[in-house]
Amino acid sequence: MRIGKSLVSAALVCAGLALSLFAGQKEKKEAAPKEAARPSYEMAQPEKESLDLNMYQSIRSEALNHSHVMEYASALMDGIGPRLTGSPNLKRANEWTRDQFTAMGCANAHLEDWGEFGMGWQQLNTWVRMSSPDTAVFIAQAGPWSPATKGPVSGPAIWVDINSEADFERYKGKLNGKIVLYGNMRDVKPVEKPLFTRDDDAELKKIQDYPTALNENFSFADILKRIGFREKIGKFLAAEGAVATLVPSRDGRNNGGSGGTIFDDTGAGFGWLIYQREHVDALPIAVMAIEHYGRVYRLLKAGVAVNIEMNVDTKFTGDHEHGFDTIAEIPGTDPKLKDEVVMLGAHLDSWASATGATDNGAGTVVAMEAMRILNALQVKPRRTIRVGLWTGEEEGEFGSYNYVKQHFGFIPRSGDAEQVSAVTEFDRDPSGPIQLKPDYQKLSAYFNVDNGSGKIRGVYLQGNGAMAPIFEQWIEPLRDLGVTTLTMRDTGGTDHEAFDAIGLPGFQFIQDPLDYGSRTHHSNMDLYERLQPEDLAQAALVEATFVYNAAMRDQMLPRKPLPHPELEKGKRQPLKGVMPGAENPQ
């Protein structure tokens, strides 16, 4: 899940609103018989879902009594390891998942090329130590796509306080041969709250309640300026002859970013697009445990000379690596519905400081196990069930967005030069209008898991109120497993956004947080041991059930209205003629 990787009126209220809409649609259908030619997702939905409770029990039995989810987990995390986009390890993971889908009985298992990504990269070894005024071994790892030091290097340490381009002048001629500490020392507060938590009823109620606060303070322009300035800092340090850079690890939820845990992603580097050759970090970077960074920082602030020795041993494997998604299917069998599709998925890529167990090996093996369960039960779905394991998620949800763009449609993005030069295509402002492909009408829904290893507690409806009464019935037989909550809230930072962005039903499950935000998300502790076997088995059970229900319904699932980003600017303009007596409003 991406950084920032973003609840609703109560479900009964949503159900009431949606059912009243259904009633209106039913009256309209009776008045206009030609509506039968419209896609089924536009038609009135049945008030009562036809659920196969025997299949509910069969899925439950297979998921809990014959689970293989941890076998998949060990093979992926231990056998293959970290899966940075563009890396040789991710290529192995793509091929392994494709072959596993074939082995479990899926059809059409293959890899789909979503386009050029950028540089392939591997961390081979990284170490950092202090050689004077004392000796100390520090916890550190290379920042992603960091250049190598080309062997061990040594030099005096210096902390730089650069907050604007005017600050460059203070350090000109002072950095040659130095190892630069860049970043303020944060407070390391005591861990007074549990790092591992589950959502109780009160927390689930908070998720369910829909926020009404207006978000008027967000400024994309400010973000672009910060990104651009950070890239300038890296180039300045390199131009002045600095040997390498050390940056402090950020914190985690409940002060979890301490005790040897470091968070290591593109936030450590000098820019957003550092995986592209033209934006590559200008000098080696290592992320340090906050306590170790703090010792050097305090010595330097006190005027004590510090000498650092370090080695960042990394390897680039190509400048124009392509990204691939793993795709496989259980073919539909209904002559009228088999061309329609229900999808599930997760992102296969990870960061490089650990093995990507909870982000998002967990979602990957849950999707694999869900497909295994359905194959083991020899289900014959009416619609085709298709799984997608995406790559490039951590850098910009490339795999899912490009898959949606190639198969279903897309919204053109801003061509503003500042945005194009600083951020990814799908992070740029949408400009519209939406462009759709024929298969847009064939996708019923997409279900995503990417919130760590916690069991599923419900679903984010992404503002699709018509789904509330449907999912309310689907989760009723799952309540004894802890699946109780529906929320109208949007959640972001992961691959369902690619579907939701063009009006397709794309859903992310609500999961127990565990230690995801506090200790494992993008960290060096994101390892197999952080996975919870019972939670993952439950998640596979729930996802398999949802996918089966969607594949067996008479109708496709209802959709939100088509988005029109080209109209957003006008809608946000101040109203005219509101203020009495105003002649020349500013």
Looking at residue 527, its pLDDT comes to 98
Q: HEC states along 478-524?
A: HHHHCCCEEECCCCCCCCHHHHHCCCCCEEEEEECCECHHHHHCCEC
Mark whether 290 and 374 lie in a shared domain.
Answer: no
pLDDT tens for each residue of 527-582: 999 999 999 999 999 999 999 999 999 999 999 999 999 998 899 889 988 999 88
- 60 Cβ contact list (under 8 Å, min separation 6): 541
Mark whether 291 and 324 lie in a shared domain.
Answer: no
CA–CA separation, 156 vs 311, rounded Å?
A: 15
Mark whether 341 and 386 lie in a shared domain.
Answer: yes
CA–CA separation, 432 vs 208, rounded Å?
A: 31
**Mean pLDDT of the chain, nearest integer:** 93
Mark whether 86 and 216 lie in a shared domain.
Answer: no
Which residue has 């101040």 as its token pair?
574
Mark whether 69 and 84 lie in a shared domain.
Answer: yes
Looking at residue 544, its pLDDT comes to 99
Amino acid making up residue 105: G
Mark whether 250 and 333 lie in a shared domain.
Answer: no
Mark whether 426 and 306 lie in a shared domain.
Answer: no
pLDDT tens for each residue of 37-59: 789 999 999 999 999 999 999 99
Looking at residue 585, its pLDDT comes to 60
Query: Is residue 582 in a domain?
Result: no
3-class SS at 75? Answer: helix
Report whether 406 contacts 114 (CB < 8 A). Answer: yes
3-class SS at 206? Answer: helix
Out of 318, 337, 356, a domain closes at: 318
Query: pLDDT confidence of 294, banded at 50, 70, 90?
Result: very high
Query: Is residue 269 in a domain?
Result: yes
CA–CA separation, 467 vs 516, rounded Å?
A: 28
Q: In the chain, how many H helices and how many E strands?
A: 16, 16
Query: Is residue 44 in a domain?
Result: no
Radius of gyration of the chain (CA): 25
Kindly state the helix (H) or strand (E) to which residue 310 belongs, with its residue range: strand 307-330
Query: Is residue 576 in a domain?
Result: no
Instruction: Measure CA of the first residue to CA of the last residue in the chain; give whole Å.
Output: 42
Single out the residue of 446, 362, 366, 436 nearest to residue 406, CA to CA.
436
List the CATH number of the domain containing 234. 3.50.30.30
Single out the residue of 244, 322, 309, 226 nearest to residue 281, CA to CA.
244
- 280 Cβ contact list (under 8 Å, min separation 6): 119, 145, 147, 274
% of the chain exceeding 70 in pLDDT? 93
CA–CA separation, 97 vs 410, rounded Å?
A: 27
Query: Is residue 149 in a domain?
Result: yes
Question: In terms of pTM, does the model score above 0.75?
Answer: yes
Mark whether 245 and 371 lie in a shared domain.
Answer: no
Looking at residue 217, its pLDDT comes to 66
Mark whether 309 and 443 lie in a shared domain.
Answer: no
Query: Is residue 164 in a domain?
Result: yes
Report whether 124 contacts 135 (CB < 8 A). Answer: no
Query: Is residue 572 in a domain?
Result: no
Mark whether 484 and 340 lie in a shared domain.
Answer: yes
CA–CA separation, 369 vs 100, rounded Å?
A: 10
Looking at residue 3, its pLDDT comes to 63
Number of folded domains that form the chain:
2
Mark whether 136 and 106 lie in a shared domain.
Answer: no
pLDDT tens for each residue of 411-444: 999 999 989 988 999 999 999 999 999 999 999 9
Out of 318, 350, 384, a domain closes at: 318
List the CATH number of the domain containing 502. 3.40.630.10
Range of the structural domain that residue 174 is part of: 120-198+212-318
Amino acid making up residue 114: W
**Mean pLDDT, rounded, for 91-96:** 98
CA–CA separation, 272 vs 228, rounded Å?
A: 9
Mark whether 433 and 537 lie in a shared domain.
Answer: yes
For residue 211, count other CB atoms closer than 10 A to its CB. 10
CB-count exposure of residue 415 (10 Å: 0-12, 13-18, 19+): exposed
Tell me the DSSP string of 50-69: ---HHHHHHHHHHHHHS--H
Query: Is residue 586 in a domain?
Result: no
Out of 265, 300, 318, a domain closes at: 318
